[in-house]
């Protein structure tokens, strides 16, 4: 049992006066494994005050100095990778062998990338008789989710520090333990007091207070579209910069010349990874109508390879979803799909056999649902795939673009040229061509109600910078 009773504010671990705590529950055992402080607006104000006081000196440091600190954070996280992986598997359920590579390997790489970018980025340039400067936006509130907790933290914290910003982090109350490990690493790396601050708590208290705080210059948020709308409303009162990475309902479009088996197996893997709790998951598989039944059979075959089980069993490919609430949400969507007449190819709302304890969900695949059905329109955030037939290429593009979201997608074709032509027509922030993998250096973000702003790479760094132009008399 881990008990955190302090928050990281102003370069020190300080007691949280409130007696209220948040219980962290293991999604595989349903047991309480830790408690963290339930902060309030008082702790938010203290953290923002510390960040504001540190901003002038930190933003004035050279990019090379900032790079050195980021490199030390990278090295500190790398040294503690096994511990961090076990912590994340315990608090949100990804199988340990996957968590070490994905939940830890990716954020470790992110800090290294931002150390490199701090050294190489052009923070000023000459344009005619002007000198254009790129300066830190100010104090940042980073509000992060539970599905890839440390990765989403690193994408914000690494970029903000490289830009010269100071920040207050509010991690998800569902999976906050990894953030405490990061704070320990940051402290050991010698980041000046007040540059990074950690306040845990609920969105309605700590999150709301951060978004409304007059001394916060920018909100960087990853989470649900509903929460993103609320953040936009509150932040508008102080005209803050807001970067939102929200939900998705991404489509994988399999063209008629594609290798159907490779496309279906690749899409099932993309959909089911992390128990389907990925905002970019390809949860709609679009196939030519003439090949629908073949695709359905291949999808069921692929789903059978995803063994559900204990995150600490090396044979498990798919762990539990992160919480009881999330399990009920997923089950609700599955039941709605059945009630709407969907053909259940595998899975369903019942717990997998032998896994009645823990928040486990059976890998589920639907066919025979309309493109406008709830199960094909709303983000499920669980291991649930919908297979949809299309008539021709134009129909496929229409269906793929036919949701309020636009975060990700995929196109499969025998020729890269044809796949790219279709990808250009998709209103979405990323498109994987024939199963192309994740790229930390590429911009990450969405169109429409999937949010605005971009994370990762140089594009993520630029989100935390303001332009200033100096005009000279020549």
Q: Which helix (H) or strand (E) holds 373?
A: none
Interval 337-366: pLDDT, tens: 999 999 999 999 999 999 999 999 999 999
What are the residue ranges of CATH 3.40.605.10 in the chain? Answer: 2-246+451-471
How far is the first Cα of the chain from the last one, in angstroms, to the nearest whole number? 67
Point out which residues pair with 119 in neighbouring strands. none
All CATH 3.40.309.10 domain ranges in the chain, comma separated: 250-439
Pick the catalytic residue: 16, 279, 296, 379? 279
- Take residue 88 and report the two structure tokens written for it: 């994340």
What average pLDDT score do residues 221-241 get? 97
* Interval 432-453 mean pLDDT: 97
Percentage, residues of the chain above pLDDT 70: 100
Architecture of the domain whose range is 250-439: 3-Layer(aba) Sandwich (3.40)
- Where does residue 142 rank: exposed (0-12), middle (13-18), buried (19+ CB within 10 A)? buried
- Which residue in the list 245, 379, 455, 463 is annotated as catalytic? 245
Would you state the pLDDT for residue 402?
A: 98
Query: E strand or H helix at 21, and its extent?
Result: strand 21-25
What is the DSSP pairing of strand 282-288 with strand 12-15?
unpaired
Q: Looking at the predicted structure, is the pLDDT value of residue 19 above 90?
A: no
Average pLDDT over residues 37-57: 98
Q: How many CB atoms lie within 10 A of CB 306?
A: 18
Around Cβ 5, how many Cβ atoms within 10 Å? 13
How does DSSP assign 128-185, residue by residue?
Answer: TTEEEEEEE--EEEEE--SSSHHHHHHHHHHHHHHHT-EEEEE--SSS-HHHHHHHHH
410-434 per-position pLDDT tens digit: 999 999 999 999 999 999 999 999 9
CA-wise closest residue to 37 among 156, 150, 179, 201: 201
**Does 18 score more than 90 pLDDT?**
no
CB 326 within 8 A of CB 370: no
- CATH fold of 2-246+451-471, please? Aldehyde Dehydrogenase; Chain A, domain 1 (3.40.605)
245 is a catalytic site residue: yes
Strands (E), 278-358: 282-288, 343-346
Residues 162-190, mean pLDDT to the nearest whole number = 98
* Helix orientation angle between 63-79 and 149-163, rounded to the nearest 10 degrees: 160
Does residue 279 have an active-site annotation? yes
Distance CA 335, CA 364 (A): 11
Can you give the pLDDT at residue 474?
86
For the segment 128-140, what is each residue's pLDDT rounded down to a tens digit? 999 999 999 999 9
pLDDT computed for residue 271 by the predictor = 98
Task: Tell me the β-bridge partners of 167.
Answer: 140, 196
Residue 252: pLDDT band (50, 70, 90) is: very high
Which DSSP symbol is given to 192? P
SS3 label, residue 252: strand
* Tokens (6 digits) for 433: 């061509």
Task: Give yes or no for residue 374 having a pLDDT over 90.
Answer: yes
- pLDDT band for position 96 (50/70/90)? very high
d(CA 249, CA 375): 10
User: Exposed, middle or buried: residue 372 (CB in 10 Å: 0-12, 13-18, 19+)?
Assistant: exposed
| 197: its two tokens | 């601050």
Determine the Cα angle at 399 with ends 261 and 268, to 5°. 30
Helix axes 81-92, 149-163, angle to 10 degrees: 130
186 vs 18, 183, 223, CA distance in Å?
Answer: 25, 5, 24
- Res 464 pLDDT > 90: yes
Is it the case that residue 90 has pLDDT exceeding 90? yes
> Mean pLDDT of all residues in the chain?
97
Q: In terms of Cα–Cα distance, which of 111, 133, 136, 110 is closest to 122?
A: 133
Average pLDDT over residues 307-331: 97
């Amino acid at each position: 049992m881990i008990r955190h009773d302090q928050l990281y504010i102003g370069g020190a671990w300080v007691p949280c006066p409130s007696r209220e705590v948040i219980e962290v529950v293991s999604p595989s055992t349903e047991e309480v494994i830790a408690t963290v402080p339930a902060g309030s607006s008082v702790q938010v104000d203290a953290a923002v005050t510390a960040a504001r006081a540190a901003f002038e000196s930190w933003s004035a440091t050279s990019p090379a100095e900032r790079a050195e600190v980021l490199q030390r954070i990278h090295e500190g996280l790398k040294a503690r990778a096994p511990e961090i992986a076990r912590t994340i598997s315990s608090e949100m359920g990804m199988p340990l062998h996957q968590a070490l590579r994905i939940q830890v390997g990716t954020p470790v790489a992110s800090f290294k990338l931002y150390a490199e970018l701090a050294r190489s980025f052009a923070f000023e340039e000459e344009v005619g008789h002007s000198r254009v400067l790129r300066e830190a936006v100010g104090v940042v509130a980073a509000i992060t989710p539970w599905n890839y907790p440390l990765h989403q933290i690193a994408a914000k914290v690494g970029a903000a520090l490289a830009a010269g910003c100071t920040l207050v982090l509010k991690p998800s109350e569902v999976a906050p333990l990894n953030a405490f490990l990061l704070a320990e690493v940051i402290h050991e790396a010698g980041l000046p007091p007040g540059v990074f601050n950690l306040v845990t708590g609920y969105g309605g208290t700590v999150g709301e207070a951060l978004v409304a705080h007059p001394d916060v210059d920018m909100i960087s948020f990853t989470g649900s579209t509903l929460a993103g709308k609320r953040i936009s409303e509150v932040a508008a009162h102080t005209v803050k910069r807001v970067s939102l990475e929200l939900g998705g309902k991404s489509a994988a479009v399999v063209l008629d010349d594609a290798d159907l088996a490779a496309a279906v197996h690749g899409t099932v893997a993309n959909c089911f990874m992390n128990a389907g709790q990925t905002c970019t998951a390809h949860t709609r598989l679009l196939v030519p109508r003439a090949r629908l039944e073949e695709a359905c059979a291949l999808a069921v075959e692929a789903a059978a390879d995803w063994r559900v089980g204990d995150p600490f069993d090396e044979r498990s490919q798919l762990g539990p979803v992160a919480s009881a609430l999330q399990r009920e949400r997923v089950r609700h969507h599955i039941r709605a799909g059945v009630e709407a007449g969907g053909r259940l190819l595998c899975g369903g709302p019942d717990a997998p056999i032998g896994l009645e304890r823990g928040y486990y969900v059976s890998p589920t695949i639907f066919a025979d649902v309309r493109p406008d059905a709830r199960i094909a329109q709303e983000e499920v955030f669980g291991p649930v795939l919908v297979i949809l037939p299309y008539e021709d290429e134009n129909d496929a593009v229409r269906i793929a673009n036919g949701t309020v979201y636009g975060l990700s997608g995929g196109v499969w074709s025998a020729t890269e040229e044809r796949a790219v032509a279709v990808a250009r027509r998709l209103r979405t922030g990323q498109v994987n061509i024939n199963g192309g993998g994740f790229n930390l250096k590429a911009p990450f973000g969405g169109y429409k109600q999937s949010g605005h702003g971009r994370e990762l790479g140089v594009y993520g760094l630029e989100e935390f910078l303001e332009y200033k132009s100096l005009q000279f008399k020549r």
